[in-house]
A and B are shown apart, each in its own frame.
Chain A
């Protein structure tokens, strides 16, 4: 890709994603580091690590069999279960916490682990499914002839293991940086204090960015330590296929007598992780313990729509704009990572905004833009869009670099030799071939932006979004209103995916 284009896109990424981090790091004074290594820090960090590892292990235990079953076997209803299995990832984790803390008498760490594991298992399932589909059919056939299904699994599992572990690393990062689930769990039961909470509390107590950043440093180190292996594992594709190369799709594996138990597992997982939370919201919106009625449900939905129309519209517009900007960044920078000389250095930089706790990123945005000269921008929706772009551009960048890596290089080289200019090659050859990845990247950013709370909580204009209103109302105990608004938000979050599954002819590429 042309150097000026990469430079412009990299500069935009730096402004949105790296500037808030750089500004925050520059604020650390020597006094802020005092107390960083005290016993309390280590206790919190240890608790956070245990919480993250346990959630990632649960996600792995659920996601690997689910992903493999729906993608590669003759499981009855696999094509139906596969998209449904994604729903828990799309739901704001706080909504899952609201459901499970009501239904089960679990509190504290076990509740948080259960909720975070259930929220992130679809990530593992997605990685495993995609990886399992890219195993050449001939490799499996050779294994099948050598030793049946058992031999196939022994060949396949090591091939999908890097993808599964990569997803588990990302699930760990999502969990340890999430502030809403521990916060909610602590609100309904005994205090479950984790590191992300501590950063927010430090900022609230002292209003000193340097102190908050210093507090966050161990968590940043922990997150980077998990993301770098994820990055390395992502590149270990082994025998997996390249688009445009010599590849034979694998046939669905016959489960035989295991079909029905496997269906039971997959269906139960979908029901528990997606069906129950949604059903609980419907029940709550219709009156809940006061007695459910269709009229009550309609009335709650009507009220939620009427009172939160502006917030829903803001969420929709900000998220759609951010997703569109991120996809442009993702296409250009993701391509540069794979194809440009020395493009790989962009990859760890792209990861930084994910490695920084959301709360800290939000503080960074505030510090960057809270000035007299930028007051109008600071108070407007533009800052919310910039925050979403900075926070989530990494996902389409990684999705696109992964997709470009799977694209046969000679498709671009043939265009280059025909005299097609770099930007045009990107637009006419690369982009059309990677349309599912582009749309997948768009949807990913849209979903994360719609459910964003942790960073947005600090930005003035983000206080007028649907997720913030839910967060606010939860603490006032208005359950029917909260449930109705949550259902509207979930519908909007799921809408692009529903439209694609109805009208799109190819499967979305959602993964880095």
Chain B
């Protein structure tokens, strides 16, 4: 059996003296699309940030595809070396870069040869249906377009794991449907493992292979088969 894409053992995250996540044990299988649901403040975003290496756990161990990523507060694998795509809440688009520059910058940073950049940028824009938007600035994009650009950027480094933090939050029902369809297609095409945080588990239920519910930083309902 191949190693879990994400494996958390007794992981806790603290802010000051308050524990905001954990201790949590969790395994996500390769290719799985796992929904993480819960109320605001339940620790969903912190879970994603710990997996990405953006938040340092106070205790526990995190492995990604069989490689130790962190042990206690020590980061064994820097965030940029984890091959993770992260779709931030609100997109976190760089407001001073056009769509093309955003993707070129991300592609170059991830080691794409200069000669390849234009082709890959076209491919990414195609995937998220933003061809023709190259010169548009983030401030001129609609909510759905901005989220799709953020998704394209997250995919630029050819991640194995995609972390989605409330990706559908600001979108209306029609846009949610179209972005979800896009996500499902991309996950299959790129063989991605997805951890998808939402406060509304129904919105992405069709894509999800299972749903995890967090309450006050702890797993409230966890499918038994998840732990290996």
B109: interface (CB < 8 Å): yes
- B119: A residues at CB distance < 8 A: none
The answer to whether A424 and B109 touch across the interface, beta carbons within 8 angstroms, is yes
- A411: B residues at CB distance < 8 A: 92, 94
A429: interface (CB < 8 Å): yes
- B95: A residues at CB distance < 8 A: 244, 433
Please name the residue on chain A nearest to B110 by beta carbon: A419
The answer to whether A408 and B92 touch across the interface, beta carbons within 8 angstroms, is yes
B217: interface (CB < 8 Å): no
What is the bound-complex CA distance between A424 and B105, given in angstroms? Answer: 10
Q: Which of B90, B96, B105, B157 contacts A417 (CB 8 A)?
A: B157
B12-20, B57-65, B77-85: which one contacts chain A?
B77-85
Q: Interface readout for B39-63 with A: 1 if CB under 8 Å, 0 if not?
A: 0000000000000101000000000
The answer to whether A417 and B86 touch across the interface, beta carbons within 8 angstroms, is yes
The answer to whether A418 and B110 touch across the interface, beta carbons within 8 angstroms, is yes
- B52: A residues at CB distance < 8 A: 413, 417
A428: interface (CB < 8 Å): yes
The answer to whether B80 and A416 touch across the interface, beta carbons within 8 angstroms, is yes
What is the bound-complex CA distance between A415 and B150, given in angstroms? Answer: 11
Q: A419 → chain B, closest Cβ, in Å?
A: 4
- B213: A residues at CB distance < 8 A: none
The answer to whether A413 and B86 touch across the interface, beta carbons within 8 angstroms, is yes
What is the bound-complex CA distance between A409 and B131, given in angstroms? Answer: 29
Q: B150 → chain A, closest Cβ, in Å?
A: 8
Q: B137 → chain A, closest Cβ, in Å?
A: 13
If A424-B109, A428-B105 touch, does A416 touch B79 (CB 8 Å cutoff)? yes
A261: interface (CB < 8 Å): no
The answer to whether A414 and B79 touch across the interface, beta carbons within 8 angstroms, is no
A252: interface (CB < 8 Å): no
The answer to whether A414 and B86 touch across the interface, beta carbons within 8 angstroms, is yes
Q: Interface readout for B168-202 with A: 1 if CB under 8 Å, 0 if not?
A: 00000000000000000000000000000000000
Please name the residue on chain B nearest to A417 by beta carbon: B86
- B105: A residues at CB distance < 8 A: 415, 418, 420, 428
List residues of A (392-451) whose CB comes within 8 Å of B's CBs: 408, 410-411, 413-421, 424, 428-429, 432-433
B34: interface (CB < 8 Å): no
B21: interface (CB < 8 Å): no
Q: A249 → chain B, closest Cβ, in Å?
A: 14
What is the bound-complex CA distance between A420 and B103, given in angstroms? Answer: 12
Q: A59 → chain B, closest Cβ, in Å?
A: 35
How many of chain B's residues touch chain A, expressed as a range? 20 to 34
What is the bound-complex CA distance between A429 and B85, given in angstroms? Answer: 18
- A424: B residues at CB distance < 8 A: 109
Q: A305 → chain B, closest Cβ, in Å?
A: 41
A38: interface (CB < 8 Å): no
- A245: B residues at CB distance < 8 A: 90
A295: interface (CB < 8 Å): no
What is the bound-complex CA distance between A376 and B48, given in angstroms? Answer: 58
If A418-B80, A419-B110 touch, does A413 touch B96 (CB 8 Å cutoff)? no
List residues of B (94-152) whose CB comes within 8 Å of A's CBs: 94-96, 105-106, 109-111, 150
What is the bound-complex CA distance between A432 and B137, given in angstroms? Answer: 15
List residues of A (240-267) whose CB comes within 8 Å of B's CBs: 244-246
If A417-B157, A418-B109, A419-B111 touch, does A433 touch B86 (CB 8 Å cutoff)? no
Q: Which of A408, A421, A433 contacts B96 (CB 8 A)?
A: A433
B153: interface (CB < 8 Å): yes
- B156: A residues at CB distance < 8 A: 418
Q: A493 → chain B, closest Cβ, in Å?
A: 30
What is the bound-complex CA distance between A432 and B84, given in angstroms? Answer: 25
Q: A430 → chain B, closest Cβ, in Å?
A: 10
Please name the residue on chain B nearest to A431 by beta carbon: B96
What is the bound-complex CA distance between A286 and B85, given in angstroms? Answer: 68
Q: Interface readout for A338-365 with B: 1 if CB under 8 Å, 0 if not?
A: 0000000000000000000000000000
The answer to whether A429 and B94 touch across the interface, beta carbons within 8 angstroms, is yes
What is the bound-complex CA distance between A429 and B95, given in angstroms? Answer: 9
Q: Which of A246, A408, A418, A432 contacts B106 (CB 8 A)?
A: A418
Binding site for A on B (CB under 8 A): 52, 54, 79-80, 82, 84-86, 88-90, 92, 94-96, 105-106, 109-111, 150, 153-154, 156-157
22 A-B pairs with CB atoms under 8 Å apart are A244-B90, A410-B88, A410-B89, A410-B90, A413-B88, A414-B92, A414-B94, A414-B153, A415-B106, A416-B80, A417-B52, A417-B79, A417-B86, A418-B80, A418-B156, A419-B80, A420-B80, A420-B105, A421-B109, A428-B105, A432-B96, A433-B96
Known interface pairs A418-B109, A419-B80; 10 further A-B residue pairs with C-beta atoms within 8 A, sorted by A's residue number = A411-B94, A413-B52, A413-B86, A415-B94, A416-B79, A417-B80, A419-B157, A420-B80, A420-B105, A433-B94
Nearest 10 interchain pairs by C-beta? A410-B92, A418-B106, A420-B109, A410-B88, A419-B109, A419-B110, A419-B80, A432-B96, A414-B92, A418-B109
Binding site for B on A (CB under 8 A): 244-246, 408, 410-411, 413-421, 424, 428-429, 432-433
